[in-house]
Structure 1
Amino acid sequence: MNQPDPAAWIGRGETMADALDVTAVGRVTATLGGPALNIGDPLPPLWQWAFFISAVPIDSVGPDGHPARGGFLPPAGDDRNRMWAGGRVQFNTPLRVGVPAERRSTVIDVKEKTGRTGSLMFVTVRHEYGQDGAIAISEEQDIVYRQPSPPRLAGTEPAPAAAWRETMHPTPVLLFRYSAVTFNGHRIHYDHPYVTQQEGYPGLVVHGPMIATMMVAAFRRAHPDGKLSSLSYRGLRPLVAPTPFDVAGRMVEPGVAELWAEQDGTLAHQAHLRFTA
């Protein structure tokens, strides 16, 4: 039987509604930290990833814990490992807690490439988050499906000198709770036998979206008056729990900050953030 053409998924869309319930927001706050939020308060940047969730039935979940392939996202072969590679976010206005909102998602690109570890399939999804009839946030997410291969764990690019820095401690409980609030079933984040025996990592893998959220949160604590405009981010290599890592950053020009996550002096994740004072 012929495998469906993944490019046929370009243009496929779905819409998810969410009430941004204050109780659900409280669970994210308990996981990531910060003051309690009430109805009408702005949702912190990138917390939209804990909402607008398509809760597929358990019998529709694949062996890696993700929804079985070939639904909204294209088929990529059952032997490939899925990772969140990076993305781009445009911040128009914050989503507000307790106000009904909607996310419209569209597959906009599917590309097959060859890298050092074999064949890679990149899928780009556009999300638009609307509230009160306006687009509050628009973003593109890059998802990569790679053939099984030993993960690249060592960094090669030295981290620059930081103007601000915070140390993160990715405990197994933190990873489990972030998986829970984002309804992320990917077993590499909480299932130690699976991640070590099936995907070849030495331990649980820290979520890429959580790392991006932590990088932006550290910027906001260092620059509380900055209004975010846009963010581009990408993962260079995985971070494995429970080894601590730093989220840090520096200004590269007025209104532009370079953010990163580093471990043992080398880069693991990078981002560029534009903002206004």
Structure 2
Amino acid sequence: MSLSPVVQWFNRSNQIRSRGYSASIRRFSIYQQCRQSVADPSISTIAASLLSRFQSLGPQTRSQVLDGNQLQLLSLTLNRSSLYPNSPSLGGRSNTSTTSLPVGTALPPGYHLVYFTPAFLENDLGADGTDVSYNPEAPFTQRMWAGGEVYWPRAAGGNPNPLRVGQEVQETTQVLSVEPKIIRKTGEQMIVVRVGKEFRNEHGLAVVDRRSWIFREALAVQSVSSRASDLAPVPTAPAFASTFSTARTHTRTLRQTAVTLFRFSALTFNPHKIHYSTPWAQQMEGHRDIVVHGPLNLIAILDLWRDTRPTEGIDPAMLLPESIKYRATSPLYAEDEYQIVLDEEDGNGTGQIQILAPSGKVAMKAEVRSAM
């Protein structure tokens, strides 16, 4: 498949730029234990068929005017009463007159994820509630968000091109690769689909976003009881976030509640049942409780990054990293109290980030590169 010049350039520059740190992130990849060769030739045929179908379709493009209300609701869902430090309050019990976000308001890094949501009738969704846009053929239809990378290009002079409220933005999507995999230890087969998205405004390319999904063999759909298992934890407290910083290490403690997950699912129009249906998450997919979204964890990481950047004399709208690479390695659940830890390498925002579950297990691993 022929890639756009931007994606080709991004590939080459990443190969050069990331040699020093990409090897470490691969150690935490959720599918790092997978072999390239697959014993069953049928899975290779399924993967090749999916790739061929998208190659014949070519890049898919759609346009959308970025709505300020969507951005405001995301900030409130994240329990942030204002979009940027010292900016007007967006809502709260003690604030009855909220300020709408004006045209021109810049999106913080990662907030583009609540735009260009999937558009499907309920009857077109999979049994687990997911949209089936990139699903391989059965049985490989159980989807997991595995990770990806996001890049914010710089124009001449080194300034980023932030997406802004009121802009008409064009999203171009193409499937970059479809690979069959097998886990060495268990022999489980799966298919990894990598999708690339480019977002452009009137000034040109603003965001390059690559996402990887793992598709496992679907579980047999059984009758799911509407009654949650007794193992479901009782909510103990509302969502919260607190941050502690030393010289180059920043630690944020978070708790995401079922309410937060429901609101984020609504904003992203994500009907995947593992994020809001406790019976489905427990009985069908073997989770302890409903699962925190991978994109929500990515936004939480980027929020910690921007909240710990010096802002004196700097337009906060320009606080966009050069890139972030991330891999999901273990699920987090509603009501978990977990930590995001940013260890800066040089004091300017480039560094390693880990999300640590209550047990101390790494749930997501990321590396952020700052252009400042």
Quickly name the TM-score band, shorter chain normalised. 0.7 to 0.9
* Residue identity in the other structure for 2:119: A
1:74/1:196 Cα in 2 relative to 1: closer, same or farther (>3 Å)? closer
Deviations 1:15-63 (A, max 9, x none): 2222111112211111112334321011011111100123111111111
- Contact 1:17–1:103, Cα closer than 8 Å, also in 2: yes
CA distance in 1, matches of 2:140, 2:117: 25
Q: Report SS of the residue matched to 1:8.
A: helix
Q: Which moved further from structure 2: 266-275 or 253-262?
A: 253-262
Distance 1:79 1:194, change over 3 A: farther
Partner of 1:42: 106
Aligned to 1:61: 125
Q: Please tell me the residue identity of whatever aligns with 2:209.
A: E
Alignment of 1:138-217 (within 5 A): 138-147=208-217, 163-217=249-303
Contact conserved, 1:85 with 1:235, CA < 8 A, in 2?
Answer: yes
- Choose which of 351, 367, 372 in structure 2 pairs with 1:257: 351
Contact 1:9-1:74 within 8 A present in 2 as well: no
SS of the aligned residue for 1:272 comes to: strand
Distance in 1 separating the partners of 2:265 and 2:75: 14
Q: How does 1:230-269 map to 2 (within 5 A)?
A: 230-253=323-346, 255=348, 256-263=350-357, 264-269=359-364
**Higher mean C-alpha displacement, 111-120 vs 220-229:** 220-229
- 2-structure distance, mates of 1:103, 1:227: 19
Question: Shift of residue 253 of structure 1?
Answer: 3.6
Higher strand fraction: Structure 1 or Structure 2?
1
Alignment of 1:26-175 (within 5 A): 26-32=72-78, 33=80, 34-35=82-83, 36=90, 37-67=101-131, 69=132, 72-78=133-139, 80-92=141-153, 93-115=161-183, 116-117=185-186, 118-147=188-217, 163-175=249-261
The equivalent residue for 2:41 is none
Distance 1:133 1:77 in 2: 42
TM-score by length of 2: 0.66
Deviates further, 253-262 or 136-145: 253-262
d(CA) in 2 for partners of 1:27, 1:254: 32
SS in 1 for 2:213: strand
Task: Indicate the larger mover: 138-147 or 250-259.
Answer: 250-259
Q: Using a 3 Å threshold, how does the CA distance of structure 1 residues 219 and 88 change in structure 2: closer, same or farther?
A: same
After TM superposition, give the deviation of residue 87 of structure 1 in Å.
Answer: 0.4
Distance 1:253 1:76 in 2: 46
By how many angstroms is 1:6 displaced? 2.0
Is residue 18–residue 102 contact of structure 1 (8 Å, CA) maintained in 2?
yes
Structure 1 residues 114 and 79: CA distance shift in structure 2, 3 A: closer
The equivalent position to 2:61 in structure 1, one of 2, 15, 20, is 15
Confirm or deny: 8 A CA contact 2:138 2:218 kept in the other structure.
Answer: no
- Contact 1:76-1:145 within 8 A present in 2 as well: no
Instruction: In structure 1, give the amino acid aligned to 2:176.
Output: I
Which entry has the higher C-alpha Rg, 1 or 2? 2
Q: Is the 8 A contact 2:262 2:275 kept in 1?
A: yes
Shift in alpha-carbon separation, 1:254–1:224, aligned structure 2, 3 A: closer
Distance 2:264 2:139 in 1: 25
| Structure 1 counterpart of 2:127, one-letter code | P
| Inter-partner Cα distance in structure 1 for 2:135 and 2:329 | 24
Question: What TM-score comes out, normalization by structure 1 length?
Answer: 0.88
Unaligned runs of 5+ in 1: 150-160
Rate the CA distance shift 1:233–1:76 in 2: closer, same or farther, 3 A.
Answer: farther
Counterpart Cα distance in 2 of 1:202 and 1:79: 23
Aligned-partner Cα distance in 1 for 2:180–2:213: 12
Give the Cα separation in 2 of the matches to 1:227 and 1:136: 11
Which one is further off, 253-262 or 230-239? 253-262
Number of aligned positions between the proteins = 262
Which whole-Å CA distance do the structure 1 matches of 2:135 and 2:289 have between them? 28
Q: 1:106 to 1:79 in 2, by over 3 A?
A: closer
Letter in 2 for 1:39: V
